[in-house]
């Protein structure tokens, strides 16, 4: 039996009375558990089921909480509740703030779509009302920033004109004669929403009564989705909340940068410039510092039986890009083998002067096989990273212990 939809004629009623026709336990996904929700059919309802891009209402039926509302075939509305209800008369109510929010976003969508189509030749091909942001997908050439601003201004102007929004009923034929925006091929009586002088389109959703109730419309961005352009927008309370959040963010960041909000852009530019300069200075200093440290460090290199010298070290608190500079500086000296690790990241770098006669890549593979990680390189220069940075010291110890073996293996 068709459920009578009370919101069709009046979307502003937040409570209603209805007849419970049936209440059935619904299949529970966890087998063997007792049902935790029930499906209720009513003779009439004020609760909106998910459809046409608009999410369902929430609310109560008697003491039961309505957790979902679904559109069934044959025009029935299924109310999913968290406890069983008795058949007979029942009082219902809807979560009004949620519903009104949906009404603002949904009516705002009608208006925006109309403006994009009428003034900029960009028809809407789909609409989604999300939990935090809503979107329309426009078809046609990319909307320029000027078009986006123009559409937002035009839509808001109509909001401020507080135009009337009416519910119309008629057949598809009648609607076609009245200049409906979207043709519908459905028999019987259809419902359409008219925004005076700008839009007339078939819709079964819930809407506000006048454009003023939509509140301010804020466009928040445009991105390409397949062949269409997805425009994000917020209406009414959502627009106000977003503007407040943005203002808070700007105030916090300005306080952090110790500047007036009006000077924020210049402060960020200055900061980025300084950062670039610091990075440049660091880049220039790293090889010099590496040369200096290598010279000192080589004085305490360990002499190996075959006459080569080893520097084995776990470095702390240096940037990763320091490692190759340091290694290169060390192995510039004859017969030096450098086994280096970074404590913080577990990065490994094994390098040698060509005459040191070992195989750094093989040595690295041996360490990585044993301690976990990945990497690779050549006979004289190999880099890798341990899966667990805490094993950096163990890795250097292991590599050092393998140096004699590594040499004989290379010769063999
Ligand atoms: Zn609608």
303 vs 127: CA distance, rounded Å: 74
Nearest to 360 by CA among 345, 339, 342: 339
Interval between CA 183 and ligand 1 midpoint (Å):
14
**Residue 186: predicted pLDDT:** 78
Cα angle 362, 364, 366 (rounded to 5 degrees) comes to 70
> Among the residues of 222-381, which ranges form H helices?
237-256, 264-298, 322-331, 360-371
Interval between CA 37 and ligand 1 midpoint (Å):
30
Interval between CA 106 and ligand 1 midpoint (Å):
6
Q: What string of pLDDT tens digits covers the 412 residues of the chain? A: 899 999 999 999 999 999 999 999 997 666 566 778 999 999 999 999 999 889 999 999 999 999 999 999 889 999 999 999 999 999 999 999 999 999 999 999 999 999 999 999 999 999 999 998 999 999 999 999 999 999 999 999 999 999 999 999 999 888 888 888 777 777 888 999 999 999 999 999 999 999 999 999 999 999 999 999 999 999 999 999 999 999 999 999 999 999 999 999 999 999 999 999 999 999 999 999 999 999 999 999 999 999 999 999 999 999 999 999 999 999 999 999 999 999 999 999 999 999 999 999 999 999 999 999 999 999 999 999 999 999 999 999 999 999 987 764 444 3
Interval between CA 94 and ligand 1 midpoint (Å):
19
Bridge partners, residue 224, by sequence: 229
56 vs 43: CA distance, rounded Å: 18
Interval between CA 193 and ligand 1 midpoint (Å):
7
**Residue 178: predicted pLDDT:** 84
**Residue 407: predicted pLDDT:** 66
Interval between CA 242 and ligand 1 midpoint (Å):
23
Interval between CA 373 and ligand 1 midpoint (Å):
56
Residues 6+ apart with CB under 8 A from 28: 34, 35, 36, 37
Q: Are 351 and 330 in contact (CB under 8 A)?
A: yes
**Residue 30: predicted pLDDT:** 60
Q: What is the pLDDT of residues 298-345, one digit of tens each?
A: 999 999 999 999 999 999 999 999 999 999 999 999 999 999 999 999
127 vs 182: CA distance, rounded Å: 14
Cα angle 327, 329, 331 (rounded to 5 degrees) comes to 70
pTM recorded for the entire structure: 0.76
Interval between CA 166 and ligand 1 midpoint (Å):
11
Interval between CA 107 and ligand 1 midpoint (Å):
6
**Residue 28: predicted pLDDT:** 63
Interval between CA 201 and ligand 1 midpoint (Å):
8
Interval between CA 70 and ligand 1 midpoint (Å):
17
Q: Are 261 and 134 in contact (CB under 8 A)?
A: no
Residues 6+ apart with CB under 8 A from 206: 7, 11, 48, 54, 99, 102, 103, 106
**Residue 411: predicted pLDDT:** 44
Q: Are 47 and 38 in contact (CB under 8 A)?
A: no
Interval between CA 255 and ligand 1 midpoint (Å):
43
Pairing type for strands 228-235 and 217-225 reads: antiparallel
Nearest to 233 by CA among 248, 244, 224, 222: 222
């Amino acid at each position: 039996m068709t459920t009578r939809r009370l919101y069709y004629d009046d979307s502003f009623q937040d409570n209603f009375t209805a007849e419970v026709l049936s209440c059935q336990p619904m299949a529970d996904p966890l087998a063997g558990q007792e049902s935790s929700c029930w499906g209720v059919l009513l003779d009439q309802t004020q609760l909106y089921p998910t459809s046409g891009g608009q999410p369902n209402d929430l609310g109560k039926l008697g003491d039961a909480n309505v957790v979902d509302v679904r559109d069934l075939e044959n025009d029935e509305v299924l109310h999913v509740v968290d406890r069983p209800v008795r058949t007979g008369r029942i009082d219902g109510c809807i979560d009004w703030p949620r519903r009104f929010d949906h009404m603002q976003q949904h009516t705002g969508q009608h208006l925006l779509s109309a403006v994009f189509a009428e003034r900029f030749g960009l028809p809407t091909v789909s609409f989604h009302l999300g939990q935090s942001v809503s979107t329309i997908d426009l078809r046609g050439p990319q909307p320029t920033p000027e078009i986006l601003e123009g559409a937002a201004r035009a839509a808001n102007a109509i909001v401020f004109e507080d135009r009337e929004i009416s519910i119309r009923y008629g057949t598809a034929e009648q609607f076609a004669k009245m200049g409906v925006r979207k043709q519908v091929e459905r028999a019987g009586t259809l419902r359409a929403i008219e925004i005076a002088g700008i839009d007339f389109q078939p819709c079964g959703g819930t809407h506000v009564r006048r454009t003023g109730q939509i509140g301010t419309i804020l466009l928040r961005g445009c991105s390409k989705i397949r062949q269409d352009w997805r425009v994000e927008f917020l209406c009414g309370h959502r627009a106000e909340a977003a503007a407040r959040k943005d203002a808070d963010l700007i105030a916090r960041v300005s306080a952090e940068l110790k500047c007036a909000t009006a000077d924020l852009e210049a402060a960020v530019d200055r900061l980025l410039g300084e950062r670039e300069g610091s990075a440049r200075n660091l880049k220039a200093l790293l090889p010099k510092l590496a040369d200096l440290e290598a010279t000192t460090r080589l004085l305490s290199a360990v002499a190996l039986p075959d006459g080569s010298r080893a520097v084995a070290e776990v470095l702390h608190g240096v940037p990763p890009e320091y490692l190759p500079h340091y290694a290169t500086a060390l192995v510039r000296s004859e017969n030096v083998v450098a086994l280096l690790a970074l404590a913080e990241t577990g990065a490994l770098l094994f390098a040698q002067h060509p005459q040191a006669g070992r195989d750094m890549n093989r040595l690295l593979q041996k360490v990585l096989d044993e301690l976990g990680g990945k990497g690779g390189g050549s006979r004289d220069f190999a880099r890798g990273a341990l899966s667990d940075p805490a094993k950096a010291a163990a890795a250097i110890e292991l590599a050092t212990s393998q140096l004699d073996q590594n040499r004989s293996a290379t010769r063999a």
